[in-house]
Chain A
Amino acid sequence: MRVAMRLGAWLEAAIEAMLRFAKAMTSPGDTGPDARLEIAWTSGVRDATWGLALRAAPREGAVIALCRVSSGASRRTLIVQDPLPPQEGDLSYHRGYVVTITSRYWNRVIDDLSGRSPETGIAVLHTHPGRGTPLWSTDDDTADRELAAFLFGEGFLKGSAPLVSIVVSADQLRARELRWTKDAGVRMHMVTRWRTLSRSRFEFRRTADAGPDVYQPPSWADRSVRVFGRDGQRLLADVHVAFVGTGGVGSITAEDSARMGFGRMSLWDPDIIKSVNINRSGSFTFADAQRGAGKAETLAAMIGRVALVRDIWLCWRKADVRHSREFARLLDVDVINMAVDDVRVRNFVNALAYAHFIPVLDAGNVIRSTAEDDVTVDAATVEAGGARVSVLVPGGPCLWCSGHITSRKLSLAYRTEAEVTADRARGYVEHLGPEHAPSVMPMNAMTAALVELRLQDLLYGLSKRPVSEVYYDLIGGTLDELPRDRVDGCRHCELVEGLGDAAELLHADD
């Protein structure tokens, strides 16, 4: 009877996991007109639009900004940036408080647009002073329809460019994308979520048009609800976090994240599990290594068994995340945790973070030991070691600014294993590094913990400080914040920031 019960429980878990995979693998669809709509902006742009417009209270205020699109598999993100604040005479008022954008303001915006790429569109934000959910008035509806018909109809906006109407109160935002065709006229599509990014905080909020958040934290979330409250647990359930690299650090971070209560997770790793992975990873077993199981697949199965959110949305991909067929799925996520050695992947995801407004926590560690090139030695000395977590977010420095990616490191990453082996045999090629990087569980667990703590800080706004990089020194035993600044005109972050679909990213199959 006991055996039967165990078998029954095992079967139930297996069926549950299979159903979860089936759900995950059929979920991503093509981006179409009905894709989920979200807004993304930096806190600086939010303040320069929403914040500025609110200053007109008790009258309505208005600000126009530029807008570009990031097209995911099931999410279309409207990236709002480059505000064009109103000047004297740009706004007029009816009945003393209802704002109108004058032709003078529109002419300035149209002039600005003419010098930009055809994918560039417009976001028009106006305020309804007071608190609570703002409602579009009949006047707003009429004005939006006329605006779309004019801008698209006269060719000032190309068909692929976004036009967004945003209305805000003192504390809430609603928005809709206005699309126009000659035959169908104007159609309005509601924005259901907005993401505000800064170096000290990642905020994800639903609009009133998203419908009620029905997620109820389960009783087994008791201890963490006592930390961040039920809303704090709901926040995690609403965040889609991706893991690029599910090896030593990534596997631990992903499993912990599932236990914390993230509601949607996507995993990318092209590798299979080997026996040498077991003593420095989470989740993996020698049986997994024996059958040559994929890392992402195996981790997903574990996550299905331990996730706090029992109907977690899971997607795993045994693939190089740089491949073009993976791209749309990656653009659906809110935050990326990256833990990979491959500089090509790190360079790709680095650019994506800025171009598509998807923040990244990049983690890595290194140990220098006298045994690193010879596993036959009995005595070894650890000479140095450290773990690092860098935050890549629009407005902040990127991995190039911080020197973690250089032209030389990137060049070396494109060499095949055969070339590296041949150069090792030559013996006089410098800076090739050890054949296999030394690694131990405590350093990977430490790195994973730093990633989780940094993400927790950024989601809940604990420190309220911009911390671009933390570094743990294995020998010194110290944990430091490293000063990192953006390099002016950096072509890897500043110059691609917010370009969305217009950004040229180098896919592995290009």
Chain B
Amino acid sequence: MSSADALIEKSITERDSVTVRFAGDSGDGMQLIGTQFTNVAAIFGNDISTLPDFPAEIRAPAGTLAGVSGYQIQFSSQEIFTPGDAVDALVAMNPAALKANLSGLKKGGLLLVNEDAFAKGDLAKATYDKNPLETGELSSYQLIRIPMTRLNRNAVEDVGISLREQDRCKNFFALGIVFWLYNRSLEPTINWVSEKFAKLPKVVDANISSLKAGYHFGETTELITANYRVPKAVLKAGKYRKITGNEATALGMVATAVLADKDLLYATYPITPASDILHELARLKNFRVRTFQAEDEIAAVSAAIGGSFGGVLSVTGTSGPGVALKAEAIGLAVMTELPLVVIDVQRGGPSTGLPTKTEQSDLFQVLYGRNGECPVAVLAPATPGECFYMIQEAFRLAVEYMTPVFFMSDGYLANGAEPWLIPEMKDLPQLKIQHPGPVSNGDSTDFEPYQRNDQLRRPWAIPGTAGLEHRIGGLEKQDITGNVSYDPENHHQMCEIRAAKIAGIANNIPDLEVEGPEEGDILLLGWGGTYGAIASAARSLRESGKKVSHAHLRYLNPMPKNTQSVLGRFRTVLIPELNLGQLCKLIRSEFLVDPIGFNKVKGQPFLVSEIVEKVNEILES
């Protein structure tokens, strides 16, 4: 700027929704400032939806494309369901971040770059031959070159920290600029920094200085001529917090256990993107939550089944590769008919695949990936906040039917955040669990562990109960007595009973609901974490006058009883999924309906525009 006293007039523009993406090296703290920006937007009262997008490597070589970490957030004065298709403002901390993220930026969008990071070596690491800031190739964007490293060093030089430590604060400088750009208060972040680093006053000082310097730079620089205001959203009245899918899953488990007056056992082995559930629960020991970090995935599910045999609420959590390892033990839980919740936070596969990216390709694995006729219930939450309620539902079915239940989250739900209307404990469902009581002077041979109720559920008799001593195991059980049986007729019958038990769950779950016209030209049928993109697409198509409906399956096995009749009311059923057509094949084989699949396996969620385009293509053909 020319002089400090020549404060320029800047305009303020109001926007309904804005999408911002922070991109830098995986060591640059992009996830941190993305989360801070999200918190502030949420507290301000916007609706929000986020997409953290980071590499599997903790620190890939600095400055390379492999090491780029991004965090995208859409914040809005309207109800939104996705982190946004196209980015309004991109912050690029180095050339690699620019290269990896530029395609997401709208033409005419704001591009804030740290020009100090565009030296020859930096460009080479990002495989740029020439400096893109100089070539004119960025002319279709509002390029704002900011010497962030230098300005930030100036801002913190008096704090008394090393140059390296100074540079580690520059993410806060960038955050400060973006806060100014969108008229946000610095206060929540200042409070957070002060609390987080309370024992390191210099770190507090430096980060706050960086943040303020960035903010004031935005205010005074002539490079940025306007800033934006995104008013509060009109959300349902009540008290809110921000929540990710993994947080909601953990809280939902604790809520279930507290309300059922049961201890909770979470047995798991660390795996991306499920580990945060473990971290969350490990802090909640005062809720009588026991976390068990097992030696491997198999031990984790086995310990959970052991806990379940003992009568506590037991869960194992993992991602696709872990589900593969747990398959045999889940078969045992099917055979022994013990309640078990299995959380699958899906990621890109097969094999190690794309550990940090989202996908929905485990549906067939959880439905069919075990030996023998081995039915289990399968549920899928649709949004991060819904994980809280669906995990409670998973427990309900597990206990009411004495069965393993899969809970199909994914990387997008797990790490994505949204505002969440905080429920009150008194309004939450209370799981009532009954174990048969002791039989005084009874002969334990009178107890029949496989005697069933109307729902085909066997009793949950637990060790420590006198007179109910019995043995369970993986060998085929004789109907009613539960003794080992090799009888051919019995085996056939037991396979049918186990199948009928799971199928019967359909009588005890809500109907499939249709958003939009109850019948018509086209139904978008989805499941799991794609809810936001599909719902947004369907709404936008309806707003443009098209008859497009949306139904979202939260219950994959069994499906709601009205599924067939819903499907039958539409000329075309389109199934968008982040796999190569698993639900599509399932629908075809279950209902003899021939849906059109719309598939994407890129490790990224659907863009709303992709679905809109696909629907338009079908409607026009």
Q: Are A and B subunits of one complex?
A: no
Identify the A interface with B (CB < 8 A): none
